[in-house]
Structures are given as structure tokens and as C-alpha cells.
Structure 1
Amino acid sequence: MMDRIYQKAQERPARMVFPEAEEEKILLAASKAAQAGYIIPVLVGKLASMTSECQRLGIDRDIFEFYDIEDEETVEKLASSYETYSYALFKGKSLRRRLSDPLYYAMVLTAIDKVDAVFAGLSHPTGEVILAGQSILCLQKNIETVSSCGILDIPGFEGAQGSLIAFGDAAVCQNPTSESLSDIAIATCDTVKSLLDWEPHCAFLSYSTQGSGTGELVDKVVKAVKIAQEKRPDLLIEGEFQLDTAMNPMVAKKKVLTDSNVAGQANVLIFPDLNAGNIGVKLLQQFAHADAYGPMITGMNKVISDCSRSAPVSELVGNIALTAVRAMY
């Protein structure tokens, strides 16, 4: 999968901004990704500190484009441009105050199309990255929920896409409403399509298959399916399904009595809440030795990435390539 991602990134390198430009691992990963042809890297911060850090690490500073947050003339130009952004929530002094923060500065660059995507998270917790993105970029039309998705590579598994399965959300939304679940499904499907060129076959998971179980938790999922189908009739979205019904064609034949384009052949799974999602992914990682790629933040007007603070440089390079492909396809 990653070979395919790297190839796509090289075909259309993204201009990617890094607001944590004094972090050693960020500079090393960004330079490696640039040398591999995946991105055109842009750094935001205090110019003297950024160039000094590049020199200390032996990185050619000419690889990067720099934005100095202390350059008042450029700040004013960016602020004036952002104020015409159709989703702009901040203007005047409120906006200019935020532009003193590299994270918000990077989001503004993305909003006005100076760059294609933001890559952050090494020195900012997930909540700060999401808050900055939601404040500056805002959410996609008809989407009211910031969420995440990921991709599992499960050894020995043979499904609709070989050993791969996409999922959402196992990182952000603790107890989503039906409306939020529908947003999670739509954003996950769109992300998977842009990354891997799959035709999403999306299954909402539950302990019930089409009415075999009852209760509030089932009702929430049933309602979410209807909302998602109404919002995006172009997508193959069905449910509620138990996991085996979604994944196993033989089980699907026994349990699903109606025609279905998803049962038994799902390649996108939507967990009903964060408990189920987190436990499900970790079960596969621990016992099936699956590799989990992500989480990738979804639902915003532009692409942002929230990386793991413990990630090694090699993993950061992979996530940079994933973010680049999401931004350009």
C-alpha cells in the first residue's frame, strides 16, 4: 500500500507546511520527504531559529521555503487575503493575534491556497491541532463533525481489497450522534477514495444485523445509515451489520435477506463509538499483528495531519506522503 502512496505522491508533490519547524524529527522527516519527491516543504516560525536548527542538523536550508512569523509585512498580507476566505471566522486584531502562533499561521496559509496541507502534532496535542484547523479552515459543507479514519493491513486476511480494510472513527469522537456517525462515514469514504482509488463499500457496525437486535445503540446506527444515504446517495453505504456479516460473504448470505452491495464485501467499517473503534483496532494490532496507518483527521475544508508524538522519522515520512496524496487527489 505504501509503495502505491509514495508513487502517487511523487506524481503530484504537495506544498506542505510544517508549523513545528524547530522540532528535529519534523525537519529530518520533511527534508527526507522532499528529497524523495513527495512534497515541497514550507516551514513556519522564527526565521533565525529555523535556519539555525537546519544548520545544526546539517540539512540544506534551500530545500525549504520559509515564512517568518515576525515579518509584519507578510503577516498583514496574509491577514488581508484570509479575510476574503468564504469561511473566515476571525478578522482584524483577533486574526492578527492568532497569526503570531505558527500553528494558526500554517492553517491560514492553507486556507488561502498558499500551501496544500498542514502537517503537525509532534509538539501539539490532537485537541490543539483540531481546534486550530476547525477555527481557521472550518468544516466541509454538510459536515458537522471532525473525525478520523485509518487503514489496517491485516496479515492473512483476504477481503474485498486483499489484506486492507479502512475504518472510522477510532481516535476522535467518543460517543457520536447519528448525525455525527453519518459525517464520519462520508468523510472516511471520501478519504479512502482519494488515497487508494477504491470504490467504497461502507458498512455501519453494530451488535445487530438489520434488526436482529434492538435497543438505543442499534437505533442510533440505523438512523445514521439513513442520514448518510440521504446526504450522499452516490456512495454505497449500508447497515446496521455485525462485523462478520459485513466481512464474510457466507455469513452475509445467511443473515442478510435483501439485495446488498456491501454485506460480505465491505472495505470500509464505521465503528459506532470510540470504545468499539479503539478496542477493535487494538485487538487486530495485538492478536493479528496488523499494521494501522493513521489516524487521519477528516471533515475539514482542507487537509491537515495530526501525527503521533512518539513516531520515528521513518513513520513521519510515511504519514507525510499519505497527507500529500489526500491533499492532491
Structure 2
Amino acid sequence: MSFLDDMKKKARASKKRIVLPEGTDLRVLTAASAAAKEGLAEIILVGNKVDILKTAGEIDLSQVLIVDVVTAEKKEEYIERFYELRKAKGVTKDQARELMKDPVYFGNMMIKQNDADGLVSGAIHSTADTLRPALQIIKTAPGTSLVSSFFIMVIPDCEYGQDGVFLFSDCGLNENPNADQLSEIAISSAHTMKGLLGITPIVAMLSYSTYGSANSELTQKVVQATALAKQKAPDLLIDGEMQVDAALVASTAKLKAPNSAVAGQANVLIFPDLNAGNIGYKLTERLAKAQAYGPITQGLAKPINDLSRGCKAEDIIGVIAMTAVQAQAEHS
């Protein structure tokens, strides 16, 4: 069974309510129809119902709930709740009313009010337009101060990691995290590995140095991040700083980090910055012919995921499934 098939199986086991706020995009409508028919989630399209149905044409939306932001039964409730959440930031009641016409804001309020469990956007919205409402309404998870992203990498015929399955982070969101932010990324990634895949996380904090073989501002950031992560989450297997060969290869680990419980068997790789993370996942995808699933968001109180604007309907279906499984983990 492939990784994606496994995600779909998990999603079907306990169906969650997933909002799609881009109902005037054919890819989204195709994905919504297919995901509903596959039983991956209870799909909710949010927007202008007339426009959604007009765009859909022959696409079957009979198993999809369409919520119109103008005529929705709970519209006034959401406006009032959003106003209460944001009035301290200077938002007026009129501004709240206007923002609730935006399907992304409206969808986030559905989740805030427990009328939905997760949201997938980004086919026609920027990352900022997808995540800004989530940060204002959903906010970060308890005990978490940073939203980050991850990729699940599935590498064929690979002896490393969890039978070739890895989590790479952060490869898509935080450009140059400081030591504290890097520690948050590591902890969130460990929880994601366990909650999403059911795999015990073994987390390597990557650098061009292993255990002080080099000493610079760059390596010290990773050293400090490792210490902070261990202090914040002493129950997790996290170690560093270490080079990627020490993190993965048992024979190299014996030479470079013989006393590490992580070296030689890491399945979660934390990159020191976005340059390294983005390069790392794309090299792995292309040279190792790996499947790359992501970027998926972590660190929010509820799962809100950002699509690539170049995505296909099949990609959206996959993200719907993963978002549903994230929502299951939130409720477990």
C-alpha cells in the first residue's frame, strides 16, 4: 500500500469535515466531487452557491455540502464571533461583516465554531491569504508558538529512515528560523510524525557539523536549537547538531556520534534554514526518484493546509486526505 493509499484508508476510518473555500476553480470542484465519492471526508464548499454550481457544470456535487457565505444560517454568529476575537486589534463590526464574505475567513470561522474540522486552500490564493485568516482565527496549537511546514518523503528501495519514509522540515515556510524557532519546528515535526503516520519520531537536527566538528554562528544555532528542543520535550528522541550522513548511516554514526540514540537511524530531518530544506527535498525527489507529499502545515490549533497554485485535482485530493488524518489526530 502506498503512502497516499494509507492516508486515504485512515481518512475513511473516521470521516472529518473539510472546507474547500475555492469553489470557482475547476480543479477544486473535481477534487471535491472525487473526495466525497471516495468517502475521504465530508466535503464543504464555501462561497457563492450560484457561482459554484455554474462553474461546476457537469461535475457531480450531489455528495458535497455547499455553504453560501451570503445566505448561511450561521453568518451572523460568525460575524459576531470574529468581531469579538479581533476587536482588540481594531476590527470594527462592519469590517468583520465584510471579511465574512471572504470564503477563506468564513471557512476558518466554521472551524473555530466547531462546524468543520479542517481547511484546504491555495489553488487560487497565495500562502499569505491562506494562512493569515488561520493565524487570526485558529491561532497556534497550545504550547506551540510557530507555524511551520513539512514534506513526507517516500524513497523507493531505501534502507534508511522508516523503510524509506522520512519527514523533512521546514522546507516551505520559515526562511531563516532562529534557535528557538528551530526547536519549535523540531518538536512539531516529531508530533506530526507520530500523529499523522503513527511512526515513532527519531529527530536529527542537521548541520554541516557533527558534535562540534566545526564551530560557527551557523552551527551554534543548531546546537542551541537542539538543547532547547530537548529541554522543552525531554520525552522525544532529538539530537544534533549532525551532518546528514551521520544522521542516516549507521557506520558513519559510529564514527562521528557513537553515543547518539538518533545518529544512524533518523527518520525526521530538521534543516537549519529554508535554503537547505528546499534544496534537500528537491534533490531527494529528483535524484532518488522519491515521492514528495507537501508542503503540509503544522503548528496550528486545527489543520489548515496550503496548496500550490500549480496543483492538480489529484494533488488536492491527497491534501484533503492528509488534512482529514491531521484532524483525526487533533481529536485523539
- Look up the SS of the partner of 2:199 in the other structure: coil
Matches within 5 A, 1:122-271: 122-258=123-259, 260-271=260-271
Decide which moves more: 263-272 or 69-78: 69-78
1:80 alignment counterpart? 80
In 1, Cα distance between the equivalents of 2:146 and 2:198? Answer: 24
| Structure-2 residue corresponding to 1:17 | 19
Q: Aligned partners of 2:232 and 2:94: how far apart in 1?
A: 38
- 1:291 aligns with 291
Q: TM-score, normalised by structure 1?
A: 0.94
The 1-side partners of 2:114 and 2:235 are apart by 28
Tell me the equivalent position of 1:106: 107
Q: Is the 8 A contact 1:82 1:111 kept in 2?
A: no
Equivalent residue for 1:5? 7
* Distance in 2 separating the partners of 1:210 and 1:92: 55
Task: Give the drift of 1:52.
Answer: 2.4
Task: Give the secondary structure class of the aligned counterpart of 1:57.
Answer: coil
Matched AA of 2:74:
T
Q: Aligned partner of 2:168: which letter? A: F
Q: CA deviation at 1:91?
A: 6.9
Aligned positions of 1:27-38 closer than 5 A:
27-38=29-40
Q: Letter of the aligned partner of 2:12 in structure 1?
A: Q
Tell me, in whole angstroms, the C-alpha distance in 2 between the residues paired with 1:166 and 1:229.
Answer: 19
Shift of 1:141: 2.6
The secondary structure found in structure 2 opposite 1:326 is helix
1:275 and 2:275 aligned? yes
Q: d(CA) in 1 for partners of 2:174 and 2:121?
A: 20
1:53 matched residue in structure 2: 55
In 2: Cα distance, 1:93 partner to 1:145 partner: 30
Asked if the contact 1:82/1:112 (under 8 Å) is kept, the reply is no
- Matched AA of 2:49: L
Secondary structure at the counterpart of residue 245 of structure 2: helix
Query: In the TM superposition, what is the alpha-carbon distance from 1:111 to its structure 2 partner?
Result: 1.4
Q: Is the 8 A contact 1:85 1:112 kept in 2?
A: no
CA drift at 1:65: 1.5
Q: Secondary structure of the equivalent of 1:62?
A: coil
- Conserved in 1, the CA contact under 8 Å of 2:29 and 2:59? no
SS of the residue 1:63 aligns to: coil
Matched to 2:142, the amino acid is: K
State the partner residue of 2:325. Answer: 325
The letter of the residue matching 2:40 is: Y
Query: Does the CA contact (< 8 Å) of 2:44 and 2:64 recur in 1?
Result: yes
Which residue identity is paired with 1:52? K
- Count of aligned positions: 326
The answer for unaligned runs of 5 or more in structure 2 is none
**Aligned-pair CA distance for 1:257:** 3.7
What is the alpha-carbon root mean square deviation over aligned residues?
A: 2.0
- TM-superposed CA distance for 1:311, in Å, is 1.8
- Deviation per CA, 1:82-127: give whole Å up to 9, x if none: 56779x9667334323111111111111111110100100000112
Q: Which residue of 2 aligns with 1:93?
A: 94
Does structure 2 conserve the Cα–Cα contact (< 8 Å) formed by 1:85 and 1:111? no
Show CA shifts across 1:161-207 (max 9, x none). Answer: 10111110011111111111111111111112111101100110001
Distance between the aligned counterparts of 2:195 and 2:44, measured in 1?
Answer: 23
**1:78 Cα deviation (Å)?**
2.0
- Runs of 4+ off more than 4 Å: 81-86, 88-91
Distance 1:206 1:42, change over 3 A: same
SS of residue in 1 equivalent to 2:297: strand
Q: Say if 1:139 and 1:300, in contact at 8 Å, map to a contact too.
A: yes
SS of the aligned residue for 1:233 comes to coil
Residue aligned with 1:244, SS? helix
TM-score scaled by length of structure 2: 0.93
C-alpha distance in 2 between matches for 1:316 and 1:93: 34
Shift, 1:72, TM fit: 6.9
User: Partners in 2 of 1:133 and 1:72 — Cα distance?
Assistant: 20
Rate the CA distance shift 1:91–1:232 in 2: closer, same or farther, 3 A: farther
Secondary structure class of the residue paired with 1:123? coil
